[in-house]
Amino acid sequence: MGQQREKVISIARQAWESGLVALTFGNFSLRDKETGCVCVTPSGLEYRGLVPDDIVVVDLEGNIVQGSRKPSVEMPMHLAVYRKRPDVFGICHTHSPYATAWACCKSALPVLVAELAALVGEETVKTAPYRPLGTAELGEVAAGCLGKGYAILLANHGLIAVGPDLETAYSNAVVVEEGARIAYLAENIGETRLLPLDECRRLKRWADEKYGQK
């Protein structure tokens, strides 16, 4: 699992360097396609100092398979998503500023840019109801709200983005944060124009069928 652990560290550091997380906030994981085990960041350690042995390997029930560190307190949320979504092999949970700010508002994050529409396929980004961090309840509501999607906000908490691999999950987290930043700027400039729902869904279908090296 050495390469998988190194990949988790690489993405976690990218997120930290790009400002998607601060200090030791957020958490990152991937599911190994061969064993089904999950590599997850440890609790409370700075990303810039992580080494492969710091990454904890667990099974889908949360039993530690490899590693002596305490796994992230949000491990139950990661595992709840993996259990519900057999197509997901990477998860990024960030506290990126603009997405988290929208998650703290009663108003929904509007989808104003085509890239975000292609990701979520809706006029707004869904927000899971608040549950205390690190709890099984948070995991269940997050997995339920995510459904078949790839990114949701967590009320008063942050963002969770998923993908068929950890690199894609990270890209999805970036897309949501950029969409949230643009929405904030646009709403402070003037009256915004939502993309119509049918166009959001068309863009989502287009991205699923044609975008990238499939």
List pLDDT tens digits, range 189-206.
Answer: 988 888 888 998 999 888
Task: State residue 191's pLDDT score.
Answer: 86
Reduce the DSSP state of residue 123 to 3 states and report it.
Answer: coil
Residues noted as catalytic: 74
Q: pLDDT-derived band of residue 152, with 50, 70 and 90 as boundaries?
A: very high
Supply the pLDDT for residue 62: 92
State the amino acid at position 105 in one-letter form. C
- The alpha carbon of residue 175 and the mean position of all alpha carbons in its chain are separated, in whole angstroms, by 11
Taking each helix axis from N to C terminus, what angle separates 2-17 and 166-189, rounded to the nearest 10 degrees?
10
What span, in angstroms and rounded, lies between the C-alpha atoms of 143 and 79?
9
CB contact at 8 A, 170 and 15: yes
What is the pTM for the complete model shown?
A: 0.92
Between CA 179 and CA 129 the distance in angstroms is 21
Q: What percent of the chain has pLDDT over 90?
A: 85
CATH superfamily of 2-210: Class II aldolase/adducin N-terminal domain (3.40.225.10)
What is the per-residue pLDDT across 172-186, written as a single tens digit (0 to 9) for each? 999 999 999 999 999
Domain positions in the chain are: 2-210
Who's near 163: CB < 8 A, 6+ residues apart?
A: 88, 89, 90, 150, 169, 170, 171, 172
At residue 126, the pLDDT reads 95
